[in-house]
Amino acid sequence: MKKMIFPKPLKKGAKIAIISPAGAVEPSQLEKGIEMIKSKGFEPVLGQHLYTKFSNGYTYAGTEKERLKDINWALNDNEIGAIWASRGGYGCQHLVQHLKLKNFIHNPKWYIGYSDNTVIQSYLLKKGFVSIHGQTIKTSSFGVTKESYELIFDILKGKAPLYSLKSHQLNRKGNVTGEVVGGNLALIYALLGTRYTFDFRDKILFIEDIGENFYALDRMIMSLELAGVFSKIKGLIVGGMTNMGDEKENKSYEDSFDEFAYQLISERISKYKFPLVFGFPNGHIKDNRPLIIGGKAKIKVEAKVKIEF
C-alpha cells in the first residue's frame, strides 16, 4: 500500500482558491465564508467562474469548460495553497476525466468540500493525495457551526482532528485502524464500476446523504453489497442522513440522523463483523465536522466512540 501524500501546513498569508465545480451560487451566500478566510490570515482568491451560471436541466456554475478551467487553475497554480469548494450540488462528474495534476503533484494542496465534491476527492485519492471532507464556503439552509470551520483550519495548519462521541444504540463495538474513504453515498454509488471509484480494500468507509427516498437508500446500499464493498472494508462510519424518506412528509433539516435510515443500513449489513459507527457529525447537517479522506484513522467503538487521525 502506497503512502498517502499530505499537503504542507499553510502559513499566514497563504492563498486559498474558492471555486464552484458544480452548482451555482450567489455572492451573498459566500460573503461570511470569504470574510472568515480573511480573518484567519489567509488570502481568498476567487475563481474566474465562481459566480457564473449556466442552465442545462440544472443551474451549474458555468459550462463544463468554464468549471474545468477554474478547477485546473486552482489545482496547478503554484501560488495557491488550498482549494475550497463553494458548494456541491451536481456537476463534478463532468470534470473528472479532464482534471490535470501536472504542477499539483509537485505542490500538493488541500481540497476542501463535501456532497458532489466526493467525485473530486475520489480522483485525488486514486492519485495518492488526501483531501478534507468538510463544510463548503456556502452558508446553507441547514446552517453551519463555527467549530466545523475551526477544525478545517486546524487541519490546514497541520493539526489532525480527534473526536470523542456518544455511542449510538446501533453501533458495533471493536477497534480498527485504516484509511478513511467515502463521502456522499449517492456519488460513491454513481462511481461504482468506473475507474474513479474508491479502492475499498481494508479501508474504513464513511457515508452520508440527503433527500433520498428510503427505497433509493436501500438500492444504493444493495449496490455496494453486490459490488462486494462490505466484504472488503474494515469499518463503517455513517454520518448525516438528512431529509430522508417520502418528501411529502416535509421533514426538516433538523432530522439529520434519520433513525429509519440507520435501521435500514444496520439490517443490510448485519452479517458483517466490522466495527460500525452511527451518528458521526459530518454531512448535510449543521455540525459538519471534517474527516480526512485518505488519512489513516484509529477507531475505538466502546461505551464511547473515539476517532483519531
State the catalytic residues: 115, 208, 284
Report whether 10 contacts 81 (CB < 8 A).
Answer: yes
Strands 59-60, 54-55: pairing kind: antiparallel
First vs last Cα of the chain: how many Å apart? Answer: 18
Report whether 162 contacts 236 (CB < 8 A).
Answer: no
The SS3 of residue 205 is strand
- Give the separation between CA 18 and CA 45, rounded to whole angstroms: 6
**What are the start-end ranges of the E strands in the chain?**
15-19, 43-46, 54-55, 59-60, 80-85, 110-113, 131-133, 162-166, 174-184, 204-210, 235-242, 276-278, 291-293, 296-301, 304-308
- Give the separation between CA 239 and CA 260, rounded to whole angstroms: 14
Place of cell 497554480: 77
Place of cell 412528509: 249
- Give the separation between CA 192 and CA 21, rounded to whole angstroms: 21
The SS3 of residue 294 is coil
Q: Which residues of 62-77 are buried (b: 16+ CB within 10 A; e: fewer)?
A: beeebbbbbbbbbbbb
Dihedral class, residue 36 (left if φ above 0, else alpha if ψ from -120 to 50, else beta): alpha
Grid cell digits, residue 8: 504542507
Closest CA to 91 of 122, 58, 113, 135: 58
